[in-house]
Structure 1
Amino acid sequence: MKKKIVFFSSIATTILATVTAISGILLTNRLMYIKPKDPTFVYERETKARRFDEVWYNECPKQELSISSPNGYTIKGIFLKPLETTNTIIICHGVTENKINSVKYARMFERLGFNMVVYDHRRHGDSGGKTTSYGYYEKFDLGAVVQEIRSIIGEDALLGIHGESMGAATTLLYAGTVNDGGNFYISDCAFSDFRELLYLIIKHTISFNFRAAVPISDLFMRLRDGYSLRSVTPKEVVQHIKKPVLFIHSIPDEFIPYEMAEDLFKLKPDPKMLLLFDKGGHAQSFNESPEQYELLVKEFLYQFVPNSGGFMDDGEEPAS
């Protein structure tokens, strides 16, 4: 009898281990190798929506960027210079997108007195890298981009960083854990805790309360990609950010809950600002309400970034 118990116990253990291994590999495969959007699709989508101004883009003075990542590959980007200024904003795109998606913010920041840097995150667009890490390795890449841009515009120049979705999480992780080289930050629809977001995605995808999937994913992510999901938690580092941060989110966002922006805002010490848009899905606040979005950024700069002069008309102050 004891031999049978040991035998069946061994079989059960083996089956459990096999199922865990298969689940861990499948889950982390979906995370690590999430398929980026085709660049042609992004270009056509942005052009059709009139968010990518091709005439302006082609005529705009620009500098191609090829930056060495501390993670061992090349980061590709473009420095758009429509203005004679050192004021610069770096744009971090969301997961599956690329730098063309970031160009939609160019004319807005031009009106606000900034030149702009767009670049491809690792494993997106023209940049290298084998996996997507949702901000963990990307924050070090952002640090390399900041260092390169600082070498061009100077240490005393005004430099901001704007991030969207994963790019926003990357921005906050950079500002809170890496040598902070920005003067201000704009976080558009960032997640506050990747583990909690992953749980929500799994729950909505398979309609099952399978919380064990998150620790399984964490274990296999550490084994396969060298980091823990615990390291992708902006809410744990946002309290260390001393520079001004503007938090943006849309209430109808069904991918990353807007409450995550509220959590981040509460944890971030002053100076800070939060605005929740009444319409727009995930990463759609600017697309749905571009004029309101620009007024918000203008007010944020006016209140918290005094050296960004030139963005108000005739000395006019924005409405509170």
Structure 2
Amino acid sequence: MATSDQQSSSWLKWGALGAAAAGAGAVAVVTATSGLAAYFARRIVTPEKQRVDDLAILAVITDGPQLQVVLEATPDTVIDGTYGLYFNGGRAHAVIGPILSYVPREGSVTRAVLAVHGGELRSATSGWWSGNLYAHPAEMGLDHEDVTVNLPGGPGPAWLVPALNPGPTWAIMVHGRGATRNEGLRAVPTAHRLGMNALLVSYRNDGDAPDAPDGRYGLGVTEWADVEAAIDFALARGAKDVVLFGYSMGGAISLQAADLARNRKYVLAMVLDAPVINWVNVLAHQAQLNRIPDYIGSYAELMLTHPLGRRITGLAAPMDFKSMDWVSRAVELRTPSLILHSIDDDFVPYEPTAELARRNPEMVTFEPFSKARHTKEWNVDPVRWESVVEAWLRPRLGKYALPRY
């Protein structure tokens, strides 16, 4: 450490160097902060082209009356229910049933395998866990028609799965971020029991429909126009009105469609599963989960909403999160909505859902689940999910709903 005389005699020299060092340090901090915020912001709006096989398949047990699979124990795989296990890059999948044994000290869980589609599970070493049991309507024994919806950006493939005795109301299934149209398959039997044809749609950037010009998610700000086109398709094929079923970001998209679409008067009701009610809340939650400081999460939000941020995020236009804050806009929601949301949702917190229902009980019915995490309410308790949806929708469909037996 320098003496007082040395400090005094070299004050100008060290003061200049100290200022330069402090400035360099500040620049480094700002650069690091900006870089992390930019990375976080881009991740939010950039579609992932391929799902990562992030779950270890430890063994497949073939001796015995039923095929079994031993999996890495994760917060998802140790929850009872029925799920999909996708492997071979998503080209094959298995329907996974009840937990047969769970050994925490070994970090493994053994579950029943109910069916395998498209591949050989015994040769798989990794895969990914999903709430989607089925990849295609044919796996459910459902007749379907491959149709095309004329989206603003080009042709969007869709499945039209007709009900046996259809009424004039159609169900339009809107999947979530990073998912595809098969996410809505689990709700098709419920729609059919209510006499609704089911239209499972694709939308921009989901891998089936054409990409948006900027190749970025709009988080609902842009995708609602694709749902508008799907409503047009249903009306042209004879529908009198529609019910929107929206999952996660698909819920945010459905809310925007019911608010902004030219044909919004034909949206009779919405059934939303773990929907994004307030993106600012979700981004803050995700920043916390990823141990990103609050100020960096706020900086990322600024990049997404400010016109100058487009150079960093790649967005064609800045986000308007205020228009998608349905807690603040609660009284403006005039479409009857049933929201099913797990109180332990690890991706989209349920509190905005509960608050929306509290502020607008006339239009919003909130049905809380537990242990379902994100968009797996049906997987944990399909009987309850289906009975709640049927009981809520039936009186809104009136005489066109099939009688309940």
Q: 5 Å matches for 1:167-316?
A: 167-179=250-262, 180=264, 181-206=266-291, 210-222=293-305, 223-224=309-310, 225=315, 226-228=317-319, 230=321, 231-268=323-360, 270-303=362-395, 305-307=396-398, 309-313=400-404
Any idea what the Cα deviations from partners look like across 1:136-171, whole Å, max 9, x if unmatched?
2222222222223222225xx131001111111221
Q: Does 1:19 align with 2:101?
A: no
| Range with greater deviation from structure 2 (274-283 or 8-17) | 8-17
Q: Tell me, what secondary structure is at the counterpart of 1:282?
A: coil
Query: TM-score with structure 2 length normalisation?
Result: 0.67
| Range with greater deviation from structure 2 (4-13 or 262-271) | 4-13
Percent identity at matched positions?
17
2:160 to 64, 79, 86: 79
Q: Tell me, what secondary structure is at the counterpart of 1:22?
A: helix
| Range with greater deviation from structure 2 (139-148 or 107-116) | 139-148
8 Å Cα contact 1:162-1:168 kept in structure 2: yes
Q: Tell me, what secondary structure is at the counterpart of 2:294?
A: coil
Residue identity in the other structure for 1:105: A
d(CA) in 2 for partners of 1:238 and 1:119? 27
Q: CA deviation at 1:287?
A: 1.3
Any idea what the Cα deviations from partners look like across 1:287-310, whole Å, max 9, x if unmatched?
12111111111111234x143633
Call closer, same or farther: CA 1:177–1:214 in 2, change over 3 Å: farther
Q: Tell me, what secondary structure is at the counterpart of 2:209?
A: coil
d(CA) in 2 for partners of 1:83 and 1:238? 37
Q: CA deviation at 1:256?
A: 2.1
Give aligned pairs, total: 307
Query: TM-score with structure 1 length normalisation?
Result: 0.83
d(CA) in 2 for partners of 1:241 and 1:200? 24
d(CA) in 1 for partners of 2:91 and 2:357? 31
d(CA) in 2 for partners of 1:92 and 1:63? 16
- Unmatched 5+ stretches in structure 1: 315-320
- Unmatched 5+ stretches in structure 2: 1-11, 52-85, 97-112, 116-132
Residue identity in the other structure for 2:24: I
d(CA) in 2 for partners of 1:293 and 1:189? 12
Which has the larger share of helix? 1
d(CA) in 1 for partners of 2:277 and 2:137? 35
Aligned residue in 2 for 1:166: 249
Call closer, same or farther: CA 1:23–1:95 in 2, change over 3 Å: same
d(CA) in 2 for partners of 1:128 and 1:168? 21
Aligned residue in 2 for 1:317: none
d(CA) in 2 for partners of 1:55 and 1:12? 60
Which has the larger share of strand? 2
d(CA) in 1 for partners of 2:95 and 2:352? 27
Q: Tell me, what secondary structure is at the counterpart of 1:260?
A: helix
1:105 to 187, 202, 212: 187
d(CA) in 2 for partners of 1:120 and 1:27? 26
d(CA) in 2 for partners of 1:108 and 1:245? 16
Q: 5 Å matches for 1:14-53?
A: 14-35=27-48, 38=51, 41=90, 44-45=93-94, 51-52=133-134
Call closer, same or farther: CA 1:88–1:201 in 2, change over 3 Å: same
Larger radius of gyration: 2
d(CA) in 2 for partners of 1:191 and 1:42? 29
d(CA) in 2 for partners of 1:214 and 1:228? 15
Any idea what the Cα deviations from partners look like across 1:36-76, whole Å, max 9, x if unmatched?
6659628625697674375465651424123222xx34433
Aligned residue in 2 for 1:68: 151
